[in-house]
Structure 1
Amino acid sequence: MAGEQALISAGMKVALVPCPALGDTTLLLWLAWRLKDAGVQVSLASASLFAVRDYLPGLEIIGGAQPDVPALARSHDLVICAIDWFVHANDPETESALGNVAYLAGKKLPVRYELERKTVSLAGAPLPGAHNVICRDPKAGKTMVQWIDIYAHEILGLDIMSKPAGLQSLPAIAEDAAGRVAIFPTTPHASKNYSHRGFRRLAQKLAAKGWQVEFVGIPAEQQALQSQYPDFTVHAFQDLKGLIDYLCTCSVVISNDSGGGHLGSLLGLRTFTITRRRSDFTWRPGFNDRNRVVNPRFTFKWMGKTIWRPFISLNHVLRELPPVARH
């Protein structure tokens, strides 16, 4: 743990800068809640979260597509910033010299900048381990939420025993939410996506059991998704508020390894993650214990590619979602 005089304390001002990816954003939002519970004045620089600032009382949400990390460093005691912004900064050498900015990476810090050797200061004292990776051991079986809690406790000295309050003032849960499933069939990385045919077959089987099945994508892909799933409603939302409001009408999220699953987990929904990874892979939904990883029975390599989609058993999902009575 960091030295006693360097620990985060009530009244300090801390800024968090997540990268734009939804899953990463939910993770630093969790850390923001941990800091807020410790009496810290927390700012979050996030374009997506700005749309849901009314659901985040007690946090200052700073919008804008490009965070001004040096300005945040001048107005806060500490800035914790996703490594993505550092790597793509106009002048990373200058930003690496900011003494109160800590950079976090998922699994690896860029070697060429030697961040591990550079000291981060908090209230005039060094904060050991502030530049760090979130996942220290991908084989440990911990979720990224558990890893961020370890960073919060061991590096920042925060209490992680209680669960944060989470999003507030959300829309009322829809009366028919218990019977609605949201499927997120895409990610920005095609290699992570389960097949459209597989998702369509799963949707049809769930619909036959009485579930209201709907698909969710981004606006740019909505038309293509609608053509792939013509018998189902396909949603696309212009901002995070629209997506969160929609998920308040659902009870289950089925997705690839993607931000949709993490957001559903954050909202307390039941999640199923279809992936080629092992069941205890690190980046699985971990904000509640109602998550299930569905992976292939086996895989093999063919012409340099991993073949896994034909070996996903949809029965893992179907067995756990009982029939829904139609009204």
Structure 2
Amino acid sequence: MKILIVKLSSLGDVVHAMAAVQDIVRERPGVQIDWVVERGFAPLVRRCKGVHRVIACDLRQWRKTLFSAATRRAWALFKAELQQERYDAVLDLQGLTKSALVSWLVHLAPQGKRYGMANQTEGSSFEAPARWVADVAITLPAHSHAVTRARMLCAKALRYELPFEMHFGLLAHTDQAPAAIKNIAFKRGLRGMVALVHGTSRADKEWPLACWRELAQRLNEAGFGVALPHGSPAEEQVAQAIAHDLEHAQVWPRLALDGLTDALATCTGVIGVDSGLSHIAVALALPHVQIYNFETAWRTGPLPPALPEAPVFQTAVFAQPCPSVDAVWQAWQAVLNA
């Protein structure tokens, strides 16, 4: 059986969909799973256990130069790669016009079908073409976590019971992380490094610089080093400002997404805002505190353990206008103890 996952973006959404892939691998042994994704996220999807082929596209870029010769050539190459196989099931986990277009272009095997969402869920985008293109439109609970939504759609489409256990299958190679990153805690005699994920694509999700500096100081005093990843010049400036005058702080060099995954995996834990890197931390099963200025952690934050008595080593902290340093610190102590 050949299955195509259509989940194009964004970083956090792509990570959330990985758990559904692990369910399919477990419940339908021997299937071939391919995945269509925006090129920028392709290196991460190649780290997802069970994915056979990654088909990269540049829809975000192509929309800006729709009628250029270069875009037409790139689109033709993408379409040719997409149509190399005939699929028994196409699973549109995005629910948008762009993912519907990709699903529509796919060649189906005899008796093959396209599956998609029949409805919008709370806090998530949904566009009507996704339902029109689907041969089978699946109704999902309106109040659904992003991870659970993808898992439920795949389970209903492929007719298996949703597994009790959940894994993301994101593979990290800590031995491939830069030596300066993976050995710094050992060289300085620290308890470990804690990555502070301060960067986000939305300004209203940010945590104040003063809070980051105070948290970093507390971590140093508790024997932890602070690691500061960044993905833009503006984020690098914030990282430098957090690290200023701290004894044990390291501003990481700019890393590609797969290298950043390897580097995060060397850390003792991660504290971050609602962003793609924080969701990678969740997928890597690292001790993690996720900071929310909005009451949306139920939809995208770390899920509670399946068993009520299980230790909680990943959690979210919410307050408005933003959580206090004390609240985040207490949450970090709790997940560390767990």
- For residue 71 of structure 1, report the CA deviation from its aligned partner: 5.8
- Change beyond 3 A, Cα 1:238–1:230: closer
Aligned ranges 1:124-273 → 2 under 5 Å = 127-129=136-138, 136-138=141-143, 143-159=145-161, 160-164=163-167, 166-168=169-171, 170-171=173-174, 176=185, 179-231=192-244, 232-273=249-290
More helix per residue: 1 or 2?
2
Give the one of 33, 37, 62 matched to 1:42. Answer: 33
User: Which sections of structure 2, spanning at least 5 residues, go unmatched?
Assistant: 60-77, 306-311, 334-338
- Change beyond 3 A, Cα 1:235–1:81: farther
For residue 308 of structure 2, what is the aligned residue in structure 1? none
- Change beyond 3 A, Cα 1:269–1:35: same
Q: Name the stretch that deviates more: 207-216 or 51-60.
A: 51-60
For residue 62 of structure 2, what is the aligned residue in structure 1? none
Residue 66 of structure 1 aligns with an amino acid whose one-letter code is: D
Aligned length: 284
- For residue 148 of structure 1, report the CA deviation from its aligned partner: 2.6
Q: Name the stretch that deviates more: 144-153 or 258-267.
A: 144-153
Deviations 1:244-302 (A, max 9, x none): 11012112111111111111011110111111233852111239652221122xx4xxx
| Superposition CA RMSD, Å | 3.7
SS in 2 for 1:76: strand
- For residue 188 of structure 1, report the CA deviation from its aligned partner: 0.7
Percentage identity across aligned positions? 19
Give the one of 63, 66, 70 matched to 2:58. Answer: 66
CA distance in 2, matches of 1:83, 1:96: 15
Contact 2:291 2:328 in 1 (8 A): no
Give the one of 300, 324, 334 matched to 1:313. Answer: 324
CA distance in 1, matches of 2:46, 2:277: 20
- For residue 56 of structure 1, report the CA deviation from its aligned partner: 4.1
Task: State the TM-score, normalized to the length of structure 2.
Answer: 0.70
SS in 2 for 1:20: coil
- Change beyond 3 A, Cα 1:52–1:283: closer
Contact 2:8 2:99 in 1 (8 A): no
User: Which sections of structure 1, spanning at least 5 residues, go unmatched?
Assistant: 1-11, 121-126, 300-307, 323-327
Contact 2:82 2:106 in 1 (8 A): no
For residue 78 of structure 1, what is the aligned residue in structure 2? 89
Residue 137 of structure 1 aligns with an amino acid whose one-letter code is: A
Deviations 1:211-269 (A, max 9, x none): 11121120443542244224232225442211111012112111111111111011110
CA distance in 2, matches of 1:101, 1:69: 17
Deviations 1:117-176 (A, max 9, x none): 6551xxxxxx341xx66xx334xxx64223333223334323413444723473359675
CA distance in 2, matches of 1:258, 1:61: 26
CA distance in 1, matches of 2:33, 2:107: 23
Residue 148 of structure 2 aligns with an amino acid whose one-letter code is: Q
CA distance in 1, matches of 2:103, 2:145: 32
Task: State the TM-score, normalized to the length of structure 1.
Answer: 0.72
